[in-house]
Amino acid sequence: MQVTSSVREPLITGGKTLKDVTHDVSRQVEGKPSLGWILGLLVAVGTLLLGSLALVATLWEGIGMWGLNKTIGWAWDITNFVWWVGIGHAGTLISAVLLLFRQKWRMAINRAAEAMTIFAVICAAMFPVIHMGRPWLGAYWALPLPNTFGSLWVNFNSPLLWDVFAISTYFSVSLVFWYIGLIPDFATIRDRATGLRKTIYGALSFGWDGAAKTWSRYESVALILAGLATPLVLSVHTIVSFDFATSVIPGWHTTIFPPYFVAGAIFSGFAMVLTLMIITRKVFKLEDYITIGHIELMNIVIIITGSIVGIAYITEFFIAWYSGVAAEQYAFINRAFGPYWWAYWSMMTCNVISPQLFWIKKIRTSIVATFALSIVVNIGMWFERFVIIVTSLHRDYLPSSWAMFYPTISDVGVYLLTFGLFFTLFLLFAKFFPVINMAEVKSIVKSSSEKVNK
């Protein structure tokens, strides 16, 4: 029996019944596409096609089409890679960690957050592959495959190889976790459908029968996968941070990177979840399921992780000063007051100052303010990765080799490609898959009989 607190607002508003939950979520899948959805898909696919031109040009001509030079070998490509991996972090945190902590407020947002994770990781994985130049000749060499060239193996001491294992594991576990959660809802849509739709959703539901033993196994598997996925929340971006922390380049060689990167990933991931959920709740009329309470709780997570990121920025400067190493000190002074000062202070404004506005309850519970600040946060997190990568490389120990990075049309185009791909996949997901986990949401909705008795 569910007991509703007299102080805390219910997670699902509007007096919904179990039937209402099924109808409200399934109608998006069963109905015809709305004009807004069609327009959004056209824009996303158009962006994808436009970006594909830049990708084809890059693959045909080589990565010399990018703005890289002899000093700056990593720039927009790795910046975008780390940014997309970070965005994918919130899905696993919401689904796995909050499940283990029995946080019921995650139930209305976990499905979309998990989908966002999968699509973001796909976008992220594109950049290292493209960076290989001619991936069709050698992308498979990133895998430890037996070969006919003798003892020719990948370098297991390289953090770039650790990335391959970490991200592929993260993607696999997240995909299985997401799909298993969809199975009961696919069965619900199957039972309401007819014709070809019934056949398709019947296949997707894997013969789900809703028996007590089936539910028991489903919940056991969910807990096992949550236990497997929870360490990934910490490990994936930790290993991504090792790409930099294990080097000897001033500005990169620091032990604070693992926790700093993890906090930043959760920070940017929750910001993207807010951006998508605010649009989804409005377009699909799900205000009773994704409530102001959900938005406020996510904003509180952003306050916490944003504050951790701010402390990390300050700590970096302190350690550089305390180290007494001139090159290390110059790297951070150059970040703040060198040619890329505008990127550094954009990062500080977006990531440190703007989240503190959420301490004000009126802003924390405002849809418009939250939507605007969630976009600002992700702009700031992109600048953070740009500052870490480019400003640490563009001025090294030899002044004669100092250089500046200027993005080319190909750099921008490939980045747009990932946006087009991400939003195309998310819009298709939102139309053909239930965007809210009906099975879990029903567990926190009071039944009709309880309401009548009351």
pLDDT confidence bin for 446, thresholds 50/70/90: low
Q: How far is CA 333 from the centre of its chain?
A: 31
Helices (DSSP H) in 284-340: which residue ranges? 292-323, 326-337
- 262 is a domain residue: yes
* Exposed / middle / buried, residue 96 (Cβ in 10 Å: 0-12, 13-18, 19+): buried
Please give the average per-residue pLDDT across 53-58, as a whole number: 93
Per residue, what are the HEC states of 94-117?
HHHHHHHCCCHHHHHCHHHHHHHH
The overall longest dimension of the chain from CA atoms, in Å, is 82
For a pLDDT cut of 70, what percent of the chain falls above it? 95
Give the structural domain span for 160: 18-144+155-445
Tell me how far apart the alpha carbons of residues 289 and 103 are, in angstroms, rounded to a whole number.
15
Please give the average per-residue pLDDT across 61-70, as a whole number: 90
Distance set, CA 254 to CA 246, 258, 261, 328 (Å) = 8, 9, 12, 10
DSSP state of 7: S
pLDDT of amino acid 331 = 92
pLDDT in tens, 410-437: 999 999 999 999 999 999 999 999 999 8
Tell me how far apart the alpha carbons of residues 113 and 93 are, in angstroms, rounded to a whole number.
9
pLDDT in tens, 358-405: 999 999 999 999 999 999 999 999 999 999 999 999 988 888 899 999
Tell me how far apart the alpha carbons of residues 255 and 316 are, in angstroms, rounded to a whole number.
10
For residue 225, pLDDT beyond 60: yes
Two tokens at 369?
A: 């303010």
Are residues 404 and 394 in contact, defined by beta-carbon separation less than 8 angstroms?
yes
pLDDT of amino acid 449 = 37
Two tokens at 166?
A: 């970490």
CA-wise closest residue to 198 among 211, 214, 186: 186
- Count up the domains in the chain and report the number: 1
DSSP state of 198: H
For residue 219, pLDDT beyond 70: yes
Distance set, CA 226 to CA 238, 264, 418, 435 (Å) = 19, 21, 28, 20
- 295 is a domain residue: yes
Are residues 261 and 303 in contact, defined by beta-carbon separation less than 8 angstroms?
no
Tell me how far apart the alpha carbons of residues 27 and 169 are, in angstroms, rounded to a whole number.
34
pLDDT in tens, 324-335: 899 899 999 999
pLDDT in tens, 2-24: 555 555 667 788 788 888 888 88
Tell me how far apart the alpha carbons of residues 415 and 411 are, in angstroms, rounded to a whole number.
6
CATH number for the domain harbouring residue 173: 1.20.1630.10
- 9 is a domain residue: no
Letter string b/e over residues 20-47, b meaning 16 or more CB atoms within 10 A of that residue's CB: bbbebbbebbeeeeeeebeebbeebeeb
Whole-model pTM: value is 0.91
- 44 is a domain residue: yes
pLDDT of amino acid 2 = 54
For residue 448, pLDDT beyond 70: no
pLDDT of amino acid 350 = 94
The answer for residues whose C-beta is within 8 angstroms of residue 65's C-beta and 6 or more apart is 57, 58, 408, 410
Cβ-based neighbour number of residue 211 at 10 Å: 9
pLDDT of amino acid 138 = 76
Q: What is the mean pLDDT of the chain?
A: 88
pLDDT of amino acid 3 = 55
Helices (DSSP H) in 324-397: which residue ranges? 326-337, 341-348, 361-364, 367-393
C-alpha distance across the termini of the chain, in Å? 13
- 450 is a domain residue: no
Tell me how far apart the alpha carbons of residues 440 and 142 are, in angstroms, rounded to a whole number.
39
Please give the average per-residue pLDDT across 24-51, as a whole number: 90
- 408 is a domain residue: yes
- 193 is a domain residue: yes
pLDDT in tens, 164-186: 999 999 999 999 999 998 999 99
* Exposed / middle / buried, residue 134 (Cβ in 10 Å: 0-12, 13-18, 19+): exposed
pLDDT of amino acid 91 = 79
